[in-house]
Amino acid sequence: GWGQGVVVSRSLERFDSIHSGLLLFWERSMGRLHRVHLEGPDIFVCVECRTHLSTNDKIISKAFHGRGGRAYLFDTAVNVSTGPLEKRVLITGLHIVCDLYCISCGSVVGWKYEEAFEESQKYKVGKFILEKPKLAKEDWALRERDFLEATALAAAAAAAGTSSSS
C-alpha cells in the first residue's frame, strides 16, 4: 500500500479554524473520502493529478531541501495520507517522519514531521514538507482570465452567427 492514516480531517479542521478566509469543501458519503477543494489565490497542487495540497499563505519556510531538490515547510496540508513512521537523519538531525502521499494518485509529495530530538528543531513537529518538484501552482487569476476570454469569444461567435443569418 502507498499510505495509511489519512491526515485530511485533522488538516481540514486547522484550515477551517485558523484561516476562516479560505472556503473549504469536505464531504464524506457512503464511507468514502472525498478531496478537499481549496478556494483562493496561489493554491499548490499535486503535479501529477492537480489535487489541491495547500496554499501559499501556509508556507512557513522555503529554505528546505527534499529528496528531489527544494522543498517548502507548510503549516498544514490537505488531501494527503501518511505512510509509516520512520527515523531519518536529516541535515538538521534525527527526526521521526512519515511520507505524505497524494490521496488521488498515490505520488509521494513530501513528509510530515512527527518528532524532533533537537530542541531547536521542535517547531517542525506537526508540520508538512512538500517537495517543490512534486508541486504545481494553480493560478486562479490566469484561469479566470482564460474563462473570460473563452466567454467573450463564444459571445462574439454567437453574435456573428446571429447577425449573418438575419
Per-residue confidence in pLDDT tens, the chain, 166 aa = 323 333 443 444 434 433 333 333 334 445 566 789 998 889 999 999 999 999 999 999 999 999 999 999 999 999 999 999 999 999 999 999 999 999 999 999 999 999 999 999 999 999 999 999 999 998 755 555 666 677 788 888 888 876 555 5
Other beta carbons within 10 angstroms of residue 66's beta carbon come to 19
Are 44 and 56 contacting, i.e. CB atoms less than 8 angstroms apart?
Answer: yes
Residue with the three cell numbers 493554491:
43
**pLDDT number for residue 28:** 42
Query: End-to-end distance of the chain based on CA atoms, in angstroms?
Result: 63
Angle at 148 between CA 147 and CA 150, to 5 degrees: 65
Q: Which domain holds residue 52?
A: 4-165
- Tell me the CATH number at 19: 2.170.150.20
Report the number of distinct structural domains present in the chain: 1
Residue 77 identity: A
- What are the two backbone dihedrals, phi and then psi, of residue 8, each rounded to the nearest 5 degrees? -55, -50
Half-sphere exposure at residue 91, Cβ-oriented, CA atoms within 13 angstroms: 5
